[in-house]
Chains A and B, each alone.
Chain A
Amino acid sequence: MIESVLFYTFAALALVSAVVVIAQKSPFYSAFGLIVVLCSLSGIFAVLGSPFIAVIQLVVYAGAIMVLFLFVLMLLNVQRETDDVGGSAPLRLAAAALASAFAAQVAAVIARARIVSGPEQYEASTRKVAELLFSPAFLYVFEATSILILAALVGAIVLAKRDL
């Protein structure tokens, strides 16, 4: 009961803010809308029994990535830069039609699929996720991502620095 109430509250919040993200003229409003989407998704993750992912979502997405976005927005000072919807009207209509067709198709598949509710007791605690993450199945992938992060770090510095 309380799970459903929380779920639908967060879901409504996420949908409304997602509309804000794509409909607002100012990129700042888009950024704040996205932050709300990320936070409500974190709440949904917690409702779905994944507290670890919920917290990591806040730390990585809301706490790190979005701060970076806001930092760049403030650095470039794009305060009132107009961001009109691009393309001509027919193109926009086509995009909207295609997007809704896509959504309808996938939604129809999901609605018709028989989705099992899963075990009654489900709690992806930090320890369980960590045991799987450091098991042989994912260990090498994990190490590979650490190299990816290092490459991204160096790449970002090289790209953004005026002269090395």
Chain B
Amino acid sequence: MSGSLVQHALLLSVALFTLGALGVFMRRNVITIFMCIELMLNAVNLAFVAFSRSLGTFDGQVLVFFVMTVAAAEAAVGLAIVIALHRHRDTLDIDSFNLLKW
């Protein structure tokens, strides 16, 4: 395999991360923002796997494994919070959850 493939994987990871970050800033639906965060996590996973491939070790794979476990836990709690929020405000617009805003 050529080194450029690893390099292009890293570039793809940057592009996906940027798109995810852009989504977090531009969208207002809580669930969409949440999905953009998942997109960013996945971009990082791709970088881990690419570096792992480049270095010839397996540590990156294990880190991806941990990222996925944390993402699963985060999704479970986060979606529970979304359901609770929707119950209180009857909307998913992030701008309406401003009770703790100063």
Asked if A and B touch directly (CB within 8 angstroms), the answer is: yes
Name A119's contact: one of B14, B56, B61 (CB within 8 Å): B56
Q: How far is the CB of A94 from chain B (nearest CB, A)?
A: 9
Are A53 and B49 also in contact (CB < 8 A) when A68-B75, A99-B21, A153-B76 are?
yes
A-B pairs under 8 A by CB, number: 238
With A86-B27, A129-B58: A37-B70 Cβ-Cβ less than 8 Å: no
Q: How far is the CA of A57 from the CA of B66 in the complex (A)?
A: 12
Contact across chains for A22 and B9 when beta carbons are under 8 A apart: no
Interface of B is mostly: helix
Q: Which of B1-33 contact A (CB under 8 A)?
A: 1-3, 5-12, 14-23, 25-29, 31-32
Min CB–CB distance A79 → chain B (angstroms): 12
Mask: chain A, 36-73; 1 = CB below 8 Å from B; 0 = not:
01100100110111101100110011001100110011
Contact between chains at A132 and B59 (CB < 8 Å): yes
Q: What 0/1 pattern do residues 122 to 161 of A give for CB contact below 8 A with B?
A: 1010001100110000100100010011011101110110
Assess whether A118 is interfacial by the CB under 8 Å rule: yes
Provide the bound-state CA to CA distance between A115 and B74, in Å. 33
Residue among B39, B58, B71 making CB contact with A21, cutoff 8 Å: B39
CB of A110 within 8 A of CB of B7, answer: yes
B55 nearest in chain A by CB position: A118
With A21-B35, A103-B14, A115-B7 as contacts: A81 and B29 at CB distance below 8 Å = yes
Q: A34-B35, A72-B31, A72-B82 are in contact. List 16 more A-B contacts (CB 8 A).
A: A3-B5, A34-B38, A37-B16, A50-B53, A50-B61, A60-B72, A64-B72, A85-B28, A86-B94, A107-B14, A117-B5, A119-B56, A122-B56, A148-B70, A155-B80, A156-B80
Q: Can you sample 18 A-B contacts with CB below 8 Å?
A: A7-B5, A14-B12, A15-B19, A21-B23, A22-B32, A34-B35, A41-B42, A49-B53, A61-B71, A68-B79, A73-B31, A81-B29, A84-B28, A85-B27, A111-B7, A117-B2, A122-B56, A152-B76
The interface of chain A, by Cβ under 8 A from chain B, is 3-4, 7-8, 11, 14-15, 18-19, 21-22, 27, 30-31, 34, 37-38, 41, 44-45, 47-50, 52-53, 56-57, 60-61, 64-65, 68-69, 72-73, 75-76, 78, 81, 83-87, 92, 95-96, 99-100, 102-103, 106-107, 110-111, 115-120, 122, 124, 128-129, 132-133, 138, 141, 145, 148-149, 151-153, 155-157, 159-160, 162
